[in-house]
């Protein structure tokens, strides 16, 4: 059974932190959204002097049976190949993590490869257009694998935690999950992923719609079904692991950062499993995948960055770490008007 003990953040700390922001030597509100980020970090850490040190990103990787339907611009083998690239330090996330003082952890929760991996729950999901992605027990296990990886990263010193994704076909699974959880049409949440052409895009929308019909026949009204049941039908082993990263991260009381479309599907699931997770979430960026904006609206999250990125791997999440660190430093290090002897109003 899954059980995560997650405290909601204290409203008193939010109020105190907001009041403190207004005492700092700047016109109130002049640091814009950075102030709200600092306030939330202070409330999460329960201090008026929040600090963020080393970060971590857990790149959750798995394969998808639905690639048999021609939904990606790339073959499934790229998932395993990219895993080697992550480990060799040659991927986009490795460079961005270096710039943002973050450690990259790679988690093979479900790659379809002959090379064994200790954390792999199964070798790829079932083809969700035709069958369940995984069993409910496998869904729980994949969440636990993600949770364990988060706990390891925290034990090794992470003070802020992001999740990343790698899995050819995962924007199809993310679209199906998002449509199911939010009660949206396939077309509203299906994007071009790695860059499928117009014909493949039309097919991808149909595949998502077929998967949703199949899941609904099994579970009934999908917005009312349990999150683990929806996850088992429409899958994504890496998306399950992402949910586990966020659940364990929230349990440990760390600020958590979402990435793009597949990762935010994991965040939606985590919040369905335990709504208190939401208090710890920051949206690192807004992806160009159209469904990502629907997810952010549902979570009520404003992204830190909008750089027209649509890669995944945790790149957009980790890129926001320096801004979150600066938001904490502003709260922790700025003098108040009283401390600095600066006139709070010029009497004007």
Ligand X SMILES: Cc1cc2ncn([C@H]3O[C@H](COP(=O)(O)O)[C@@H](O)[C@H]3O)c2cc1C
Ligand Y SMILES: O=C(O)c1cccnc1
Our CB check for ligand X shows the closer of 38 and 169 to be 169
Contacts of 282 (CB under 8 A, 6+ apart): 37, 40, 255, 256, 257, 258, 301, 304, 320, 324
> Minimum distance from CB of 175 to ligand X (Å)?
9
- Which residues are bridge partners to 303 per DSSP? 283
Our CB check for ligand X shows the closer of 249 and 262 to be 262
Q: Is 185 assigned a catalytic role?
A: no
Contacts of 344 (CB under 8 A, 6+ apart): 337
By beta carbon distance, the residue nearest ligand X is 193
299 closest CA partner among 323, 317, 283, 287: 283
Site for ligand Y in 259-288 (CB under 6 A): 259-262, 287
CA dihedral 283, 53, 44, 23 (to 10 degrees): -100
Site for ligand X in 295-314 (CB under 6 A): 311-313
> Minimum distance from CB of 285 to ligand Y (Å)?
9
The answer to whether residue 146 forms part of the interface with ligand X (CB under 6 A) is no
Q: Which one of residues 18, 70, 74, 123 is an interface residue with ligand X (CB under 6 A)?
A: 74
**Region binding ligand Y by CB under 6 A among candidate stretches 56-64, 124-132, 146-154, 254-262:** 254-262
Q: Which does 261 bind (CB under 5 to 8 A by kind): ligand Y, ligand X, none?
A: ligand Y
> Minimum distance from CB of 25 to ligand Y (Å)?
38
Q: Which does 260 bind (CB under 5 to 8 A by kind): ligand Y, ligand X, none?
A: ligand Y
> Minimum distance from CB of 50 to ligand X (Å)?
31
- Which residues are bridge partners to 322 per DSSP? none
* Interface positions with ligand Y (CB under 6 A): 171, 193-194, 259-262, 287, 289, 292, 310-312
* Interface positions with ligand X (CB under 6 A): 72-74, 78, 82, 165-172, 193-194, 311-313
* Residues classed as catalytic: 313
């Amino acid at each position: 059974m899954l059980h995560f003990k997650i405290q909601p953040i204290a409203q008193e700390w939010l109020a105190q932190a907001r009041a403190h922001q207004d005492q700092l030597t700047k016109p109130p509100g002049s640091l814009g959204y950075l102030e709200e980020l600092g306030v939330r970090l202070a409330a999460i850490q329960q201090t008026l002097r929040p600090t963020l040190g080393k970060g971590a990103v857990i790149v959750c990787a798995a394969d998808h049976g639905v690639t048999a339907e021609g939904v990606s611009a790339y073959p499934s083998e790229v998932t395993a190949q990219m895993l080697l690239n992550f480990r060799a330090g040659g991927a986009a996330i490795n460079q961005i993590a270096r710039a943002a003082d973050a450690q990259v952890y790679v988690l093979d929760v479900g790659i379809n490869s002959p090379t064994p991996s200790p954390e792999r729950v199964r070798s790829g999901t079932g083809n969700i257009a035709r069958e369940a992605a995984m069993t409910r027990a496998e869904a729980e296990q994949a969440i636990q694998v993600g949770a364990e990886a988060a706990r390891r990263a925290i034990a090794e010193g992470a003070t802020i935690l992001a999740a990343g994704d790698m899995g050819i076909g995962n924007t199809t699974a993310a679209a199906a999950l998002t449509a199911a959880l939010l009660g949206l049409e396939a077309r509203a949440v299906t994007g071009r992923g790695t860059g499928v052409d117009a014909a493949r895009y039309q097919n991808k929308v149909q595949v998502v719609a077929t998967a949703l019909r199949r899941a609904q026949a099994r579970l009934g009204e999908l917005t009312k079904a349990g999150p683990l049941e929806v996850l088992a039908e429409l899958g994504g082993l890496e998306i399950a692991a992402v949910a586990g990263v966020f659940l364990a991260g929230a349990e440990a009381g760390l600020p958590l950062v979402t990435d793009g479309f597949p990762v935010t599907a994991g965040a939606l699931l985590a919040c369905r499993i335990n709504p208190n997770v939401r208090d710890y979430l920051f949206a690192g960026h807004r992806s160009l995948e159209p469904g990502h904006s629907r997810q952010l609206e549902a979570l009520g999250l404003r992204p830190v960055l909008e750089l027209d990125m649509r890669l995944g791997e945790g790149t957009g999440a980790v890129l926001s770490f320096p801004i979150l660190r600066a938001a904490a430093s502003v709260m922790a290090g700025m003098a108040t008007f009283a401390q600095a002897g600066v006139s709070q109003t010029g009497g004007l």
